[in-house]
Structure 1
Amino acid sequence: MCAVTSLLLASASPARLATLRAAGLDPAVLVSAVDEPAVVERYGVTDAEDVCLVLAKAKAEDVAANDERPEDALILGCDSVLAFDGQVFGKPASAQEATERWRAMRGRSGVLHTGHWLIDDRDEGSGATIGGVASVTVHFADVSDAEIEAYVATGEPLAVAGAFTIDGLGGAFVTGVEGDHHAVVGVSLPLLRDLVREAGVVWTDLWASRG
Structure 2
Amino acid sequence: MRLVLASASPARLSVLRAAGLDPVVEVSDVDEDALLAAIPDASPGEKVTALAGAKATTVARRVAGPRPGAVVVGCDSMLSIDGELVGKPLDVDTARRRWKAMAGRTGDLVTGHAVLRLVDGEIDRVAEGHATTTVRFAEPTDAELEAYLATGEPLAVAGAFTLDGLGAWFVDGIDGDPSNVIGISLPLVRRLLGAIGVSPVDLWAHRSG
Q: What TM bracket, shorter-length normalisation? A: over 0.9
Q: Select the residue among 122, 129, 148 that pairs with 1:151.
A: 148
Q: How many residues align?
A: 207
Q: Select the residue among 20, 26, 34 that pairs with 1:24.
A: 20
Once the two structures are TM-superposed, the CA of residue 128 in structure 1 deviates from its matched residue by 1.0
Given the alignment of the two structures, is residue 194 of structure 1 paired with residue 208 of structure 2, yes or no? no
Once the two structures are TM-superposed, the CA of residue 172 in structure 1 deviates from its matched residue by 0.8
Report the identity percentage.
51
Match in the other structure for 1:36: 32
Task: Please list every run of 5 or more consecutive structure 1 residues that lacks an aligned counterpart in the other structure.
Answer: none
Given the alignment of the two structures, is residue 77 of structure 1 paired with residue 74 of structure 2, yes or no? yes
Q: Which moved more, 1:61-70 or 1:200-209?
A: 61-70
Once the two structures are TM-superposed, the CA of residue 47 in structure 1 deviates from its matched residue by 2.2
- Asked whether the 8 Å contact 1:80–1:115 carries over to 2, the reply is yes
SS at match of 1:64: helix
SS at match of 1:117: strand
Given the alignment of the two structures, is residue 172 of structure 1 paired with residue 169 of structure 2, yes or no? yes
Map 1:42-191 to 2 at 5 A. 42-66=38-62, 70-123=67-120, 127-191=124-188
Once the two structures are TM-superposed, the CA of residue 210 in structure 1 deviates from its matched residue by 5.8
- Asked whether the 8 Å contact 1:60–1:117 carries over to 2, the reply is yes
Looking at structure 1, the residues matched to 177 and 70 of structure 2 have their Cα atoms a distance apart, in angstroms, of 26
Task: Please list every run of 5 or more consecutive structure 2 residues that lacks an aligned counterpart in the other structure.
Answer: none
- Asked whether the 8 Å contact 2:60–2:123 carries over to 1, the reply is no
SS at match of 2:79: strand
Corresponding letter in the other structure for 1:188:
S
Corresponding letter in the other structure for 2:128:
G
1:156-176 deviations in Å (ceiling 9; x for gaps): 011000000010010111110
Q: Which moved more, 1:42-51 or 1:12-21?
A: 42-51
Once the two structures are TM-superposed, the CA of residue 121 in structure 1 deviates from its matched residue by 1.1
Once the two structures are TM-superposed, the CA of residue 125 in structure 1 deviates from its matched residue by 8.9
RMSD: 1.7
Looking at structure 2, the residues matched to 191 and 36 of structure 1 have their Cα atoms a distance apart, in angstroms, of 23
Corresponding letter in the other structure for 1:200:
G
1:154-209 deviations in Å (ceiling 9; x for gaps): 11011000000010010111110100000000000010000111111122111102
- Asked whether the 8 Å contact 1:56–1:77 carries over to 2, the reply is yes
Match in the other structure for 2:203: 206
- Asked whether the 8 Å contact 2:116–2:123 carries over to 1, the reply is no
